Chain A
Amino acid sequence: MDKHQEFRQQVRQWLRDNCPVSMRTPAAEDEQIWGGRHIEFQSREQQQWFERMRDKGWFAPDWPIEYGGGGLDRKQAAILNQEMTRLQCRPPQLNLGIWMLGPVLLEFGSEAQKQEHLPRMARGEIRWCQGFSEPNAGSDLAGLQMKAESDGDDYIVNGAKIWTSYANKSDWIYALVRTDPKAAKHDGISLLLIDMTSPGIEAKPIELISGESHFCEVFFENVRVPKANLVGEVNGGWSVAKRLMQHERAAIANFGGESESPYVLHQLAKEYIGEHQGRIADPVIRDQVVSIDINEKAFALTLRRTMEEAKQGAGNGAATSIFKYCSTEQQKQKGELLLKILGNRALGWEGDDYSDQELAITRDWLQSKTLSIGGGTSEIQLNIIAKRVLGLPA
């Protein structure tokens, strides 16, 4: 047995022994647990599972041990991931620090920043949010205007962020700010780490068409931030941001796969529309179910293929550029088809007329409209494919 096979055996055994059975099913939206100062576990098993993974260092498996990680190499981390998928283990906690900021701090952060932030992230103690978009800087993100002006050892931050997920529940924010208003727009941006308890910050949830309100507007008025909290070079924030966005796109695509919608289209279609000789009674709906199923399957296979290509050093990774576009567009289409399948049963807003599942389908359909907008719209994704992969001229 080579050392990776041996590692796989160990991981498999450890997960069997340590992952509670109730943590081996896909988590519903309200069963997901976010880290942070005010973490509240919903069950003993959920807490056990998180604490065991944390203590093993596997909450941040491929970070160095000195920063609280598990010290696994890439291959080992991939094995852990595969074995968790195999056993259907839930992620022990949802955490933007682990997915996005952590890897970027490892690459760009100062030693002091790594020591201050990484171990706390790896213990799931801090809930991070991401301050990128502004009221006048959406797809044209580099047009952002929130100012950070030098004042001794601090910056004074003024401006507003928007579409910041869970800003009202987060402990810290990593935000893009303008540190040089005179430079060309990509050249005057920096990344700042800001404690959300700093005086002068106000986060207000925005109510969406789905009734959800996890997106927030965040206002900064004369907020004082130590200069030591600037990540990377002053005015070098755009390259850090691009790296963050790569992690974000990967997380959104991955997350889409992980929180795979619990609805089995053909079962619902048979239930709501009827069946004839084993087939969905309405041939048009049947064919539309096929479309969604085929594309979901093709997408899952593409995730697998690119992972295997990366592992073997084959291919050029170009296919990863399609993840965000394909997964979010597919989820929107699935929402629309669920609406067709349920008909009037999908049009309820609240109350006893409708089952919990019906109400959830309605809300999910409305919520799915955000997917192809946040984290770089579908149109921005297509721009990226056209320019970076196909090499089409600007």
Chain B
Amino acid sequence: MALVLSEEQRFLQDTAREFFQQQSPVSALRQLRDTRDAKGYDGDVWQQIVELGWNGMIFPEELGGLDFGFMGLGAVLEQAGHTLNSSPLLDSVVLAGSVVLLAGNDQQRRELIPALIEGRLRIALALDEDSHHNPATTALRASPRDNNYELNGQKRYVANGGNAEHLIVVARTSGEPGDQAGLSLFLVSANDIQKQASTRIDSRNCANLTFDQVTVSENALLGSAGGAFPVLDQALDRARICVSAEMLGSAQELLDRTVAYLKERNQFGVPIGSFQALQHRAAIMFAELELARSTVMAALEALDSKEATTEEVATLASLAKAKVGEVCQLISNEAIQLHGGIGVTDELEIGFFLKRLRVAEQSFGNTGFHRSRFATLNGY
């Protein structure tokens, strides 16, 4: 184990770089946005991702996966971040798939995970209800009715919530909002739910869901009633680390584009990159990004390690998400400022990165959430 890609992983990274550059440049995202594509991603590109096998990387072979590990998946997602590729890979396959893998029973795993890997099924995790991510504050209620549960409440900002065939709903079967105990996971068909699209700045699919006396069978439970929090948090940590890898790619792309612009843009008869005031800002961006990169690599390594405890992974997940979030704020803002006037135009692609990075920063807990969680995990 090391904080460096193996030869095999580097080969995968090269494949992913080429694939996303050719099949899914930022201009493709612009087109999805301008045509108001309801899905929020390109179905053909998604089909190719399925065929490349990237959906199976983190799943065991007996469920149709490749067991290739998170380090490799992180390399792919980082490249996706370079071109802002949008697909169900992170939300549906990695996150919802991990919930099924970690919380579900044998039958649920065998039914759902191969379908996710083969691209036959999309599952959205319906978790957040409020302006900020915080699983313990879940209020949506699941009340027992005979051999069923009745769900009442709201879910908001559900990524891929508008197009997934299934939902995993985080619901409260006991306790009060704020309690970690009392949470349960239900697998629900998306057909039964009232959906309202929520248009966000990153042009990806996102929906608000209303549960009004929705009845589900107790067989729909994933894992034990009331005891979902630890396993949910474990699945979320995988998504937190993976979205950090994606953000890292976007930030690297922004830095590369900004440094290139500093070299080509002339003012006062010289390239603006010769001004020390701007050189130092670029150098600080570079230094911060290198620090952030190490936290992501360490977190991915821990996910693949057999020795790392759940708590160690959690600490590294919060470390990575917090550091990457902070560095992405810095780099996206500096990228715009250093591009000057053209930086705030819709014509330039820099703004697409800014918008995606802010959504990614809020996903699965923003910088403030993870700073506080990091402190708690370290005993203060």
Contacts and interface: CB of A to CB of B under 8 A. Distances in A.
Given A279-B375, A294-B322, A309-B4, 14 more contacts: A275-B380, A287-B371, A289-B375, A291-B371, A301-B298, A302-B290, A308-B2, A326-B291, A383-B280, A385-B287, A386-B282, A389-B286, A393-B270, A394-B274
Most chain A beta carbons < 10 A, residue from B292, B294, B374, B379: B294
B283 A385 contact: yes
A290 B371 contact: yes
Contacts of A270: 380
B2, B259, B283, B295 — most chain A CB neighbours (10 Å) = B283
Interface of B: 2-5, 10, 259, 262-263, 270-271, 273-274, 276, 278-280, 282-284, 286-287, 290-295, 297-298, 319, 322-323, 371-372, 374-376, 378-380
Interface in A273-298: 275, 278-280, 286-287, 289-291, 293-295, 297-298
B286 A286 contact: no
Contact of B378 (A293, A318, A326): A293
Interface string A20-39: 00000000000000000000
A5 to B, nearest CB: 15
Contact of B279 (A295, A319, A386): A386
B283 A386 contact: yes
Nearest to A314: B4
B236 to A, nearest CB: 19
Contacts of B271: 393
A341 to B, nearest CB: 12
A266 B280 contact: no
29 contacts: A266-B379, A279-B375, A290-B322, A290-B375, A293-B374, A294-B371, A298-B295, A304-B294, A305-B297, A308-B4, A309-B3, A312-B4, A314-B10, A322-B286, A322-B287, A322-B290, A326-B287, A382-B279, A385-B286, A385-B287, A386-B282, A389-B283, A390-B259, A390-B279, A392-B262, A392-B273, A392-B279, A392-B282, A394-B274
Given A286-B380, A315-B4, A302 B263 contact: no
Contacts of A66: none
A278 B380 contact: yes
A379 interface: yes
A304 B263 contact: no
Contacts of A262: none
Contacts of B259: 390-392
Contacts of B283: 381-383, 385-386, 389-390
A305 B4 contact: yes
Interface residues of A, number: 45
Given A297-B319, A298-B295, A325-B287, A279 B263 contact: no
A124 B378 CA distance: 41
Contacts of B379: 266, 278
A298 B291 contact: yes
B58 to A, nearest CB: 22
A382 B372 CA distance: 31
A269 interface: yes
A41 interface: no
Contacts of A382: 279-280, 283-284
A299 B291 contact: yes
Interface of A: 266, 269-270, 275, 278-280, 286-287, 289-291, 293-295, 297-299, 301-302, 304-305, 308-309, 312, 314-315, 318-319, 322, 325-326, 379, 381-383, 385-387, 389-394
B263 A298 contact: no
A319 B289 CA distance: 10
A202 B374 CA distance: 53
A390 B5 CA distance: 23
Contacts of B291: 295, 298-299, 302, 322, 326
B3 A308 contact: yes
Nearest to A319: B290
A275 B286 CA distance: 37
A315 to B, nearest CB: 7
User: Taking each of A269, A291, A304, A305, which has the highest tally of chain B beta carbons within 10 Å of its own beta carbon?
Assistant: A305
Contacts of A314: 4-5, 10
Given A294-B374, A305-B3, A308-B3, A280 B279 contact: no
B4 A266 contact: no
A17 B278 CA distance: 54
Contacts of B3: 301, 304-305, 308-309
A276 B99 CA distance: 34
A266 B295 contact: no
Contacts of B284: 382
A198 B287 CA distance: 44
A301 B297 contact: yes
B273 A298 contact: no
A295 B319 CA distance: 9
